[in-house]
């Protein structure tokens, strides 16, 4: 733990006061705490911090993370400790100047802290573009479009206007919602740093299946217009507008709102009696000089989404979805996109070479094929067809192609698939396809590969550890179909970790051990047999965690 106070930043303020608080709590605003930090946490030496206080962590004077003390601060000996979110902790290296504000007043002076021994200054910004970044309300590292990048939100609003007009021609009415509605209604302007446009439509249907089908039909129509999309659930579609460097300049969210049994449902959070949320007739709302449709009673919509306190700005706001609403959204609309954004951020960082000290991989490691890939490729007949599920940055897939095999590699990470387009220098072939295995609609078309040539062998290394229950079921069902429905025998090779281990990178949310006995039972139920395959002696990667390997075939 290293910490130096920068005396140039010392200021004097009158103590802040809050009725009913102890005198020591009223001292916030008078530099009542001494700040220390390392790669794992930030520490504030001083009196206890009230649980309802909002804390803002500033990097070089710029707010990068806002938290509620009661949700984030844990007590230590004569200090308050705030653990860095995993997505940020994995990137902290070098030194930085930090400061903490409490409810808008200085809680600490600016302190120069060292996260490790690296000599450089830490900057939270996007490599290549220099766009400032923050920790958003989801705990992820996101762009901050305030300041010189504010023009991007205007470009997003222009795209929203075009989308509204096009959908109106199809008989569907979009309207602004969420943060895009909150800023103009509450503050008369777009919220500073907003990086997307939130839109919604009210479904024509009340049956959840019909609501989902309506959304899928809209998605197909958008694809026909050339839009690139990602589906978070059957009720949440995201339109992506990528930049030349592979990152997203901005995006538009389209949420499906619907009425069921007298209740209004505003995907993904709101659930209120229908009479409390009036949407039609739509009204016009001026946003940055553009006219966009809005709900008839914007205040009712904002109360349903953000609660009755929506009029008061809350930098540390987090969605807390009521259990009754969460059950319905999960069971009716599903959750299809878990962790994709985190994997994409991780893959981009690896490709740039700035993944941080805890990334778990280096350019030399993620570009080198695994020992399992070498064993698998060497045991197949020349020119075999291979389907790799969850290919990541493609080191194994490239090796297969270099050995003369014909490979289709799939992953739901866009930078991973884009990276496959680089030459592999082999006699085989390599194609990449973006497929989200958590979605049966995306996984099922792969079943057609069964008899489009010679035997198709399946390869999935550490994939099952990073899928949710639905994703695992989809993947095993797909493997079962492929192995049972080929004219010539084929096999699948699976590698899983069956013991608890840390996530593959900081910020990874979905990572769990695989119950090996349960996996074998599931495979048997699909008409498959699984054989344990020990790793070859001396071929295990240095520092690699223990894993289990299975060779899977169709039962006779």
> Of the candidates 183, 171, 182, which has an alpha carbon nearest to the alpha carbon of residue 221?
171
Helix axes 298-306, 178-187, angle to 10 degrees: 120
Backbone dihedral angles phi then psi of residue 432, each to the nearest 5 degrees: -120, 150
Q: Give the integer Cα–Cα distance in Å for 322 and 305.
A: 11
The per-residue pLDDT for range 515-537, each reduced to its tens digit, is 999 999 999 999 999 999 987 65
Ranking 286-295, 310-319, 389-398 by mean pLDDT, the lowest is 310-319
261, 130 Cβ separation under 8 angstroms:
no
Task: Record the pTM.
Answer: 0.86
How far apart CA 298 and CA 309 sit, in angstroms, is: 14
More confident residue, 545 or 549: 549
Cα 48 to Cα 247: distance, rounded to the nearest angstrom: 41
Preceding omega of 242 cis (within 30 degrees of 0) = no
Cα pseudo-dihedral 523, 524, 529, 531, rounded to 10: 70
Report H helices in 406-551: 414-419, 440-443, 469-484, 516-525
pLDDT digits (tens, 9 = 90+) for 454-475: 999 999 999 999 999 999 999 9
The answer to whether the CB of 524 falls within 8 A of the CB of 531 is: no
At 494 the three-state DSSP class reads: strand
| Tens-place pLDDT, residues 116-149 | 999 999 999 987 778 889 998 888 888 877 765 6
| Other CB atoms within 10 A of residue 483 CB | 26
State yes or no: pLDDT of 539 exceeds 60.
no
Domains in the chain (CATH in brackets) are 2-143 (no CATH), 147-333 (3.30.460), 340-554 (3.40.50.150)
- Residue 121's alpha-carbon distances to 42, 154, 474, 522, 542, in angstroms, are 17, 32, 45, 51, 32
pLDDT at 543 over 70: no
Q: Any idea which residue has 């400061």 for tokens?
A: 99
């Amino acid at each position: 733990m290293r910490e130096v106070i920068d005396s140039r930043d010392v200021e004097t303020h009158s103590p802040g006061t809050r009725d009913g608080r102890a005198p020591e709590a009223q001292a916030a605003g008078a530099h009542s705490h001494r700040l220390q930090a390392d790669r794992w946490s930030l520490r504030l030496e001083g009196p206890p911090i009230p649980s309802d206080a909002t804390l803002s962590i500033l990097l070089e004077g710029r707010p990068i993370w806002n938290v509620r003390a009661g949700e984030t601060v844990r007590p230590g000996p004569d200090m308050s400790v705030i653990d860095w979110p995993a997505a940020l902790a994995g990137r902290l290296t070098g030194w930085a100047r930090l400061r903490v504000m409490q409810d808008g007043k200085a809680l600490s002076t600016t302190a120069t802290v060292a996260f490790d021994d690296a000599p450089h200054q830490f900057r939270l910004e996007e490599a290549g573009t220099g766009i400032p970044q923050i920790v958003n309300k989801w705990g992820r590292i996101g762009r901050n479009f305030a300041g010189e990048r504010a023009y991007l939100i205007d470009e997003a609003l222009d795209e929203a206007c075009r989308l509204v007009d096009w959908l109106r021609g199809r008989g569907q009415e979009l309207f602004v919602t969420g943060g895009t509605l909150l800023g103009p209604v509450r503050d008369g302007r777009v919220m500073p740093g907003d990086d997307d446009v939130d839109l919604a439509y009210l479904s024509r249907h009340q049956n959840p299946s019909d609501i989902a089908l309506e959304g899928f039909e809209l998605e197909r129509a958008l694809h026909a217009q050339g839009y690139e999309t990602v589906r978070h659930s059957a009720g949440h579609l995201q339109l992506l507008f990528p930049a030349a460097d592979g990152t997203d300049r901005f995006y538009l969210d389209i949420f499906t709102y619907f009425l069921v049994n007298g209740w209004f449902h505003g995907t993904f959070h709101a659930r209120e009696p229908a009479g409390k949320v009036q949407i039609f007739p739509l009204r016009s709302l001026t946003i940055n000089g553009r006219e966009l449709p809005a709900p008839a009673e914007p205040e009712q919509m904002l109360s349903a989404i953000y609660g009755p306190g929506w009029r008061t700005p809350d930098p540390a706001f987090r969605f807390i979805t009521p259990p009754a609403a969460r059950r319905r959204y999960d069971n009716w609309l599903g959750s299809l996109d878990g962790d994709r954004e985190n994997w994409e951020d991780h893959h981009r960082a690896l490709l740039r070479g700035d993944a941080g000290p805890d990334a778990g991989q280096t350019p030399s490691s993620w570009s080198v094929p695994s020992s399992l890939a070498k064993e698998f490729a060497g045991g197949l007949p020349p020119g075999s067809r291979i389907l790799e599920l969850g290919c990541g940055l493609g080191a194994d897939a490239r090796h297969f192609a270099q050995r003369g095999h014909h490979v289709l590699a799939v992953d739901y990470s866009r930078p991973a698939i884009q990276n496959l387009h680089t030459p592999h220098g082999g006699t085989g072939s390599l194609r990449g396809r973006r497929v989200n295995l958590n979605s049966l609609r995306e996984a099922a078309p792969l079943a057609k590969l069964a008899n489009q040539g010679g035997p198709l062998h399946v390869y999935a290394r550490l994939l099952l550890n990073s899928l949710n229950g639905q994703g695992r079921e989809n993947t095993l069902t797909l493997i079962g179909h492929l192995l049972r429905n080929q004219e010539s025998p084929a096999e699948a090779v699976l590698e899983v970790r069956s013991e608890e281990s840390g996530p593959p990178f900081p910020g990874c949310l979905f990572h769990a051990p695989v119950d090996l006995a349960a996996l074998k039972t599931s495979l048997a139920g699909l008409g498959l047999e699984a054989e344990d395959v020990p790793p070859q002696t001396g071929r295990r990667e240095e520092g690699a965690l223990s894993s289990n390997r299975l060779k899977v075939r169709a039962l006779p």
